[in-house]
Amino acid sequence: MTDHDNQQYKDRLEKVASVVLRPVRINNKGFILWMGFLIVAFAACLFAYSIQLRKGLIVTGLRDYTSWGMYIANFVFFVATSLVGMLISCVLGLIGFKWVKPVARIAEIIAIAFAAVAGLVIISDMGRPDRLPYVFMFGRVQSPILWDVTVVTTYFALSLLLWFFPLIPDLAVAKNKLSGRPAFLAKAYEILSFKWVHHEEQYRILHIAVRILLILVVPTAFAIHTVTSWLFAFTPRAGWDSSIFGPYFISGAFVSGTSALLIAMYFFRKNYKFQDYLTDFHFEKLGRVLFLVSIVYLYFNLNEFLVPAYKMKKLDAIHLHELFMGKYALLFWSVQLGGLVIPIIILLIRKMRKPLPLFIISMFVFAASWLKRFIIVVPPQAHPFLPVQNVPAEWHIYSPTLIETAITMASLLLALIIITVLSKLFPVLPVCELAEDEAIADNELLSGIENNSK
């Protein structure tokens, strides 16, 4: 009937499944400890949120001038990082790079977790979260805020489907191989595999569905982050009033997303023992992707800062002076150099595109990406058009409070919880696709060639 029935394929499937399904368990000590830690820490942060809920936003550092602080910076960061799902599976996948197959699902997991939490982060910035339904009841289609709510929801749905559809054949394969796991897991796999029997007709339907999703997610992902940038760029405020904010944000999103993916890949490779599937070759390739997106982002940075800095319009000058030489100078230059320029230079060296160096570089890039959002969101608000007069000193300089920081930490913890749950309950690598392709053989061949060339 189909090539899915021949013996060679079945042997390969067994081999891949045994490796990929090994970490799918939730009753081992390591998992319970890790999940316990996440939940306790998350609960502690939720307590901080309960204080904010009771007393209002006054417990944060947000005041009349800086009314968008850490929360909104964090929101932009989460939306940005979630874009990696689109970058890997669509931009690279649609073009036809076969090597993205083993990393595509990891990218989708990151996309799901970060897009889901991005929506919640916005609620943490609301003084009256009970008024959230008003967005839908009284929302104006002219407002980028409504566009943002719409596209974040849509992107989350698309990411979830893009993760789930390719998972169906794997669930069908795995449902009989779950000995020693809780019974509900096998039951869930049975239901979620939708009677998958590896028939060609089913593969045809699945391919159509995935194809539609891959095409849909490209404009949606571009919309989600462009609209997020418009929340800023649609105002005349110096520092936000920029016509390149859309591409500037998108290119920055690819940088933070790729670094997040590399961190996750390194983690899964080490802890889940996926060395055979997340090979040096994949790291080498993604190291190049990180280099490429970083250099594009550097180009946009050059435009974003050099163009106004050459003209030095009155308010731009005050803003840029604060960034270049003023009170944000240390933060600004460490982010621009440590998170962008130096990684670009290091990534040029072949030896640095190995898993461990890439993991370390990505940690720096990831942290710098968060701080960069802070630099984009906070400093422009300190220089309003009307003069700042007769106001309390605490309104002048924004400094996040402990409660605010804890609530921000909660968002990161929640994203980690989602990633942990998804990656412990379901296979992280595409079992069937890996078995289908000659991918493993290819990689062995390629790594062999690489070793010979040294």
Partner 1 sequence: MNRLLIILLLQLFPVILMSQGWDTPADKKGKLSPFKFTDETRIVGEKLYLLNCKSCHGNPGKANFINLVPSPGDPATDKIQHNSDGEIFYKVTTGRGPMPSFKNALSSNDIWNIISFLRSFNPKYIQAFQPEIKSAAYPGATINISLLLNKKKDSVIVKLTAISPKIIVPVINAGIKLLAKRTFGMMPVDEDKTSDMKGFAAFKIPKGFRGDTAGNVYFSLRFTDEDKFGAFSKDTVIKAGEITIPQSLVKDRAMWNNVRKAPIWILLTFSLGVMSVWGFIFLVLFKLRDIYIVGEYLDKNPGKEESELK
Q: Which of 206, 295, 352, 371 binds partner 1 (CB under 8 A)?
A: 206
Is residue 119 at the binding interface for partner 1, with CB under 8 A as the rule? Answer: no
Which residues touch 34 (CB under 8 Å, ≥6 apart)? Answer: 420
* Pairwise CA distance, residues 87 & 217, whole Å: 10
Residues 68-87 that bind partner 1 (CB under 8 A): none
Which pair of structure tokens corresponds to residue 423?
């990656």
Is residue 218 at the binding interface for partner 1, with CB under 8 A as the rule? Answer: no
Tell me whether residue 34 or residue 203 sits nearer to partner 1 (CB atom). 203
* Pairwise CA distance, residues 262 & 447, whole Å: 19
* Pairwise CA distance, residues 122 & 426, whole Å: 29
* Pairwise CA distance, residues 18 & 188, whole Å: 19
Is residue 158 at the binding interface for partner 1, with CB under 8 A as the rule? Answer: yes
Tell me the window of 178-186, 208-216, 289-297, 373-381 that interacts with partner 1 (CB under 8 A): 208-216
Tell me the window of 134-142, 360-368, 420-428, 432-440 that interacts with partner 1 (CB under 8 A): 134-142
Is residue 145 at the binding interface for partner 1, with CB under 8 A as the rule? Answer: no
Closest CA to 145 of 106, 179, 176, 119: 119
Tell me whether residue 131 or residue 195 sits nearer to partner 1 (CB atom). 195
Tell me whether residue 1 or residue 330 sits nearer to partner 1 (CB atom). 1
Burial of 151 (0-12, 13-18, 19+ CB in 10 A): buried
Tell me whether residue 65 or residue 165 sits nearer to partner 1 (CB atom). 165
Is residue 157 at the binding interface for partner 1, with CB under 8 A as the rule? Answer: yes
Which residues touch 223 (CB under 8 Å, ≥6 apart)? Answer: 147, 151, 155
Tell me whether residue 212 or residue 325 sits nearer to partner 1 (CB atom). 212
Residue 65 DSSP label: S
Tell me whether residue 209 or residue 409 sits nearer to partner 1 (CB atom). 209
Q: Which of 201, 310, 385, 454 binds partner 1 (CB under 8 A)?
A: 201
- Name the minimum Å distance from CB 304 to partner 1: 26
Which pair of structure tokens corresponds to residue 78?
């989460």
In angstroms, the Cα distances linking 376 to 74, 77, 252 are 11, 11, 12
Tell me whether residue 211 or residue 313 sits nearer to partner 1 (CB atom). 211
Tell me the window of 18-26, 57-65, 207-215, 300-308 that interacts with partner 1 (CB under 8 A): 207-215
Is residue 216 at the binding interface for partner 1, with CB under 8 A as the rule? Answer: yes
Is residue 222 at the binding interface for partner 1, with CB under 8 A as the rule? Answer: no
Q: Which of 4, 202, 315, 418 binds partner 1 (CB under 8 A)?
A: 202
Is residue 141 at the binding interface for partner 1, with CB under 8 A as the rule? Answer: yes
* Pairwise CA distance, residues 341 & 204, whole Å: 46
The full DSSP string for 240-296 is T--TTHHHHHHHHHHHHHHHHHHHHHHHHHHHTT-TTTS-HHHHHHHHHHHHHHHHH
- Name the minimum Å distance from CB 396 to partner 1: 18
Is residue 212 at the binding interface for partner 1, with CB under 8 A as the rule? Answer: yes
- Name the minimum Å distance from CB 380 to partner 1: 23
Q: Which spans in 348-401 are helix H?
A: 355-377
Number of residues that bind partner 1 (CB under 8 A): 30
Is residue 213 at the binding interface for partner 1, with CB under 8 A as the rule? Answer: yes
* Pairwise CA distance, residues 235 & 245, whole Å: 12
Tell me whether residue 45 or residue 161 sits nearer to partner 1 (CB atom). 161
Q: Which of 97, 194, 324, 395 binds partner 1 (CB under 8 A)?
A: 194
Closest CA to 72 of 80, 82, 283, 83: 80
Q: Could you list the residues that contact partner 1 (CB under 8 A)? A: 138-142, 147, 150, 154, 157-158, 161, 165, 168, 194-197, 199-202, 205-206, 208-209, 212-213, 216, 220, 390
